[in-house]
Amino acid sequence: MDITSRTVFMVGGTSGIGLELAHRFRAAGSTVVVGGRNTEVLAQLTAEGLGAVEIDVTDADSVARARDNVLKAHPDLDTVVTMSGTGGPEDLWDTAHFALAQTIVEVNLLGTIRVIDAFTPHLLARGAGTIVTVSSGIGFLPFPLMPTYGASKAAVHAYSEALRAQLAGTGIEVAELVPPAVATRIGGSNPHALALDAYGEEVMELLAQDPTPHEILVQAVLMHRWAERDGTYDALVAQRSQALATLPGRTQG
Ligand SMILES: NC(=O)c1ccc[n+]([C@@H]2O[C@H](COP(=O)([O-])OP(=O)(O)OC[C@H]3O[C@@H](n4cnc5c(N)ncnc54)[C@H](OP(=O)(O)O)[C@@H]3O)[C@@H](O)[C@H]2O)c1
């Protein structure tokens, strides 16, 4: 895709990967509106000259309001990124994990669907545009400490595939960003996490390819994405299961 002349709504762009890509799209020449709940950051972004819109992807009214505001200011909007996400460890021996599971599905899966539903009629009417969904390497290679997070991201992958097929021939393309561990609020405690600027640079290079790749796969995520094909899946899941020893009440090692 041409990253120099887009009008982008970066939903979930107030921190981490979304904020990094918002700045990079803008630096490349595109117009960017950032969405999120953090009004302090939204105000800072407005002061920097970016667009900013409050949105809570778990709330259908909030999504509709944000859509109306963005399209009023930018009737030429052509790119929507569904970056909003949340996650965390869950102990499946303790049913108290359910509250977090519910939040994760609400934000990562249903939030993605709400935002796409809100903008699809506009993009269909334009007959052109790009939807960028955000899954995770964990959606392809489980990290057993984060079961619902992985399940939500595997669901985003499956949804993206179906969305692309349903939008074929409409002029709307669907690209799925598949991040590995990246040093942000979500990925920050992982010592192997990629630096945010290095990740952002690699992502923009991949997004700028023509045609836009169906999956935006940086080098560091290839081991997750292709583990099953490469025959490394079982060994890697066993290795990643060692993190379960960090849960309270589990034997170490
Ligand atoms: N970092 C990693 O290691 C990694 C790996 C794979 C995939 N990912 C995915 O990449 C995406 C970005 O995550 P990140 O790592 O950059 O983490 P982050 O810094 O925590 O960013 C998450 C973003 O989601 C937004 N958000 C959360 N709940 C929301 C809600 N209810 N409504 C609207 N926005 C909401 C947050 O904005 P507000 O707080 O302002 O609402 C924030 O901008 C997520 O989808 C994540 O799952 C990250």
Give all domains of the chain, ordered by start, each with its CATH number: 7-246 (3.40.50.720)
Interatomic CA distance for residues 191 and 169, integer angstroms: 43
Nearest CA to ligand 1 atom 44: 85
Confidence check: pLDDT of 67 > 90: yes
Confidence check: pLDDT of 122 > 50: yes
Interatomic CA distance for residues 210 and 180, integer angstroms: 23
Ligand 1 atom nearest to 134, measured from its CA: 45
Phi, psi angle pair for 213, to nearest 5°: -60, 145
Measured in angstroms, how far is the CA atom of residue 82 from the centroid of ligand 1?
9
| Residue 149 appears among annotated catalytic residues | yes
Ligand 1 probe mutation, 10, 11, 15, 152, most atoms within 8 A of CB? 15
Q: And the tokens for 238?
A: 């066993």
With contact defined as beta carbons under 8 Å apart, do 219 and 202 qualify?
yes
Confidence check: pLDDT of 125 > 50: yes
Q: And the tokens for 25?
A: 């799209």
Q: How do residues 6-37 score in pLDDT, each as one tens digit?
A: 999 999 999 999 999 999 999 999 999 999 99
| CA quadruple 145, 147, 151, 153: dihedral, nearest 10 | -30
- For the beta carbon of residue 231, count every other beta carbon within 10 angstroms: 9
Please provide the distance, in angstroms rounded to a whole number, between the alpha carbons at the two ends of the chain.
47
In the predicted model, what is the mean pLDDT of the chain? Answer: 96
- Average pLDDT on 217-243 reads 97
Interatomic CA distance for residues 214 and 219, integer angstroms: 15
Q: Using pLDDT thresholds of 50, 70 and 90, give the confidence band for residue 192.
A: confident
Measured in angstroms, how far is the CA atom of residue 95 from the centroid of ligand 1?
25
Ligand 1 probe mutation, 84, 102, 194, most atoms within 8 A of CB? 84
Confidence check: pLDDT of 87 > 70: yes
Measured in angstroms, how far is the CA atom of residue 179 from the centroid of ligand 1?
11
- Average pLDDT on 87-106 reads 97
Measured in angstroms, how far is the CA atom of residue 134 from the centroid of ligand 1?
10
Least confident of 70-79, 187-196, 235-244: 187-196
Q: Beta strands 7-11 and 129-134: pairing type?
A: unpaired
Confidence check: pLDDT of 132 > 60: yes
The share of the chain scoring above pLDDT 70, in percent, equals 98
Q: Which residues line the pocket of ligand 1, CB cutoff 6 A?
A: 12-18, 36-38, 55-58, 83-87, 107, 134, 136, 179, 181-182, 184-187, 193
- DSSP 8-state symbol, 195: P
DSSP string, 89-111: ---TTSGGGHHHHHHHIIIIIIH
Q: Give the pLDDT score at 127.
A: 98
Q: And the tokens for 67?
A: 């859509």
Q: Give the pLDDT score at 253.
A: 47
Q: Give the pLDDT score at 185.
A: 86
Q: Give the pLDDT score at 44.
A: 98
- Average pLDDT on 170-193 reads 91
Measured in angstroms, how far is the CA atom of residue 83 from the centroid of ligand 1?
6
Length of the chain counted residue by residue: 253
Q: Which of 149, 159, 199, 233 is catalytic?
A: 149
Cα dihedral sign, 161-206-80-198 = positive
Q: Give the pLDDT score at 252.
A: 55
Confidence check: pLDDT of 100 > 90: yes
Confidence check: pLDDT of 240 > 90: yes
- The H-or-E segment that residue 222 falls in is helix 222-225
Interatomic CA distance for residues 19 and 35, integer angstroms: 10
- DSSP 8-state symbol, 242: G
Neighbouring residues of 42: CB distance < 8 A, sequence distance ≥ 6: 14, 34, 36, 52, 53, 54
Report cis status (omega within 30 of 0) of the bond before 211.
Answer: yes
